[in-house]
Amino acid sequence: MNGVGCSPVQISVKLAPTFDYPVLERFWRTADDLGFPAVWNYDHFHGLTDPATPTHEGWTSLAAMAVVVRRARVGCLVSGVTFRNPAVLAKMAVTVDHISGGRLDFGIGAGWHEGEHRGYGIEFPAPGRRVAMVDEALTVIRRLWTEEVVDFAGRFYTLEGARCEPKPLQRPYPPIVVGAAQPRMLRVAARHADEWNMPSRDPQAWAAARDELDAACGELGRDPASIRRGVQLFLHPEDPDQTDAELAAIEQYRDLGCQHVVLSFYQPPGDDLLRRCADLL
């Protein structure tokens, strides 16, 4: 799936919950009014470059987003597998799916910020172990979303008579978005994902990961075209030249087979910039 000659790319927007709540709500509402198909946040407990940055919790703010946003889909890009027991995360996701009226996209990844884990006393396993945790967590979560009672004894998680009621409004469950860049996580995406997303500043690096995903799908007997391909681009509205360059790169990603671009803003964009991005739709 080399993607040459692809159809127009979908564009959605993201703002980390590192700003005052009224700022977040204004962003969500404006993005929804402008017709973006999805609005995203992220799952961290403090600022990533400066730990002192005030940060709202991702999933509780996502529940608020699901009320404010009336048309667009909502999601967390992405939840860290190390932060929550997957059975609890499955319940949280179902709750947001119901709050949103069936508009949740479920994002998950292996986590990466060691200092954040250390600060909160959360175990930070080696990369290979975290990847295996995502694989097992998604197995658990998908079963909880589709089965009445779940018994499970795995390497990391054990469930005895676990129930997840109500079931998601979306059937069989909300679309699963796996954040992945390295071969082992791309294999997890090939096994579980409805959509793959990779943060990128280099279209060719994104294309190389796309090819790895195709190969993993082939090994697992899955049609690569059954997984939507996405990229996350980082925009700094305080630097117009940088913003212009990232927006100009969208066409290159599209030509490489990207179907969904998430524009992640480092500072809250003004209405004019958001309208400019919406015009790309």
Higher confidence at residue 37 or residue 52? Answer: 37
Beta carbons of 36 and 69 less than 8 angstroms apart: no
Which domains are seen in the chain, by residue range?
10-279 (3.20.20.30)
The overall average pLDDT reported for the chain is 95
Residue 172: both structure tokens together: 């069989």
Beta carbons of 261 and 36 less than 8 angstroms apart: no
Which pTM value belongs to this model?
0.94
Give the pLDDT confidence of 114-170 residue by residue, as tens digits: 989 999 999 999 999 999 999 999 999 999 999 999 999 999 999 999 999 999 999
Q: Which of 113, 47, 119, 103 is nearest to 80 (CA)?
A: 113
Summarize the confidence of residues 235-248 as an average pLDDT: 97
Report pLDDT for 244.
Answer: 97
**Which band of pLDDT confidence, cut at 50, 70 and 90, is reported for residue 3?**
very low
Report pLDDT for 7.
Answer: 64
Helix 240-255 and helix 271-279: axis angle, to 10°?
Answer: 20
Report pLDDT for 281.
Answer: 85
